[in-house]
Structure 1
Amino acid sequence: MTRPDDMFGDDDYPAYTMGRAAEIAGTSPDFLRRLDEERLFTPFRSAGGHRRYSRYQLRLAARAREMVDQGTALEAACRIIILEDQLEEALEQNRKLQRQQSADSG
């Protein structure tokens, strides 16, 4: 469990309200809602039902905004970002397995 004083250093901690998240990501609250609808990410919901966003989600939102501003359709931008994220995760898992195999054989 993350200690309270470490939460804001955690990229996945839902620290930002919708208004603040939109401001940081350089987008609008409606754009953030649309990213949720496109399943780029699912924001955390507070006890009162308000959306809360993490720094990681804000980076994805900023990337989506950049792609849309360059003419990519929102649906396509979300799919590209999801695939990029999955690829990076697979590459990281591959690196870990390679390190483990090197350690086991050495």
Structure 2
Amino acid sequence: MAERDGSTPLYGIAIAAELAEVPEPTLRLYERRGLLAPFRSDGGTRRYSEDDIQRLRRVAALRDAGVNLMGIGKVLDLEDENSELKDENRQLRRTLDDER
């Protein structure tokens, strides 16, 4: 059996909502607003990964801190960009270390 990582789509919307402690309609709203993009099966069923659940929890934390949905989107975009830059930096450092 193949190993799963955090991006493996596992959960239907009801389970994802329960795990993230968010009502199902709120998950649909977040998707419409571009705050998350769950995997869609060929039949259109949403499937959420562990990464999606963590993102939902981050959205909830920002919302609880008083950030509106537009602001949450901007924060998430910046966090995603920062994470990508950190990954690129790590890879460049490894390449430089290998060349020495």
TM over 0.5: yes
Structure 2: gaps spanning 5 or more residues: none
Identity among equivalent positions (%) equals: 32
Structure 1: gaps spanning 5 or more residues: none
Q: C-alpha separation between the residues in 2 aligned to 1:61 and 1:78?
A: 12
Q: C-alpha separation between the residues in 2 aligned to 1:23 and 1:45?
A: 19
Counterpart check, 1:13 vs 2:22: no
RMSD (Å), alpha carbons: 1.4
Instruction: Report the equivalent of 1:53.
Output: 48
Q: 1:1-106 to 2 correspondence within 5 Å? A: 5-6=1-2, 9-104=4-99, 106=100
Residue-pair matches, total: 100
Structure 1 residue ranges (4+ consecutive) displaced by more than 2 angstroms after TM superposition = none
TM-score w.r.t. structure 1 length? 0.85
Deviations 1:37-92 (A, max 9, x none): 12122111123322111110110011001111121101211220121011111111
SS in structure 2 opposite 1:16?
A: coil
Q: CA deviation at 1:15?
A: 0.3
